[in-house]
């Protein structure tokens, strides 16, 4: 059973890694703004 779970985690991580690599440049542009950073900090404090 643990071996099957490990396999499922690895298989599920592959599409996530591909999407992350494809969207990394766009995410850098979005999250480099000071306003976005401030909003993320506020949201984190509220949570």
Give the pLDDT confidence of 1-47 residue by residue, as tens digits: 789 999 999 999 999 999 989 988 887 777 777 888 888 899 999 99
User: Cα separation of 36 and 21, whole Å?
Assistant: 21
The predicted pLDDT at position 15 comes to 93
pLDDT value of position 26: 80
Q: What is the pLDDT of residue 27?
A: 78
CA angle 33, 15, 37 (to 5 degrees): 15
pLDDT value for 34: 82
pTM of the model: 0.51
């Amino acid at each position: 059973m643990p071996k099957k779970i490990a396999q499922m985690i690895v298989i599920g991580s592959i599409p996530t890694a591909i999407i992350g690599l494809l969207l990394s440049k766009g995410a850098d542009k979005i999250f480099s703004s000071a306003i976005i950073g401030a909003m993320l900090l506020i949201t984190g404090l509220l949570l």
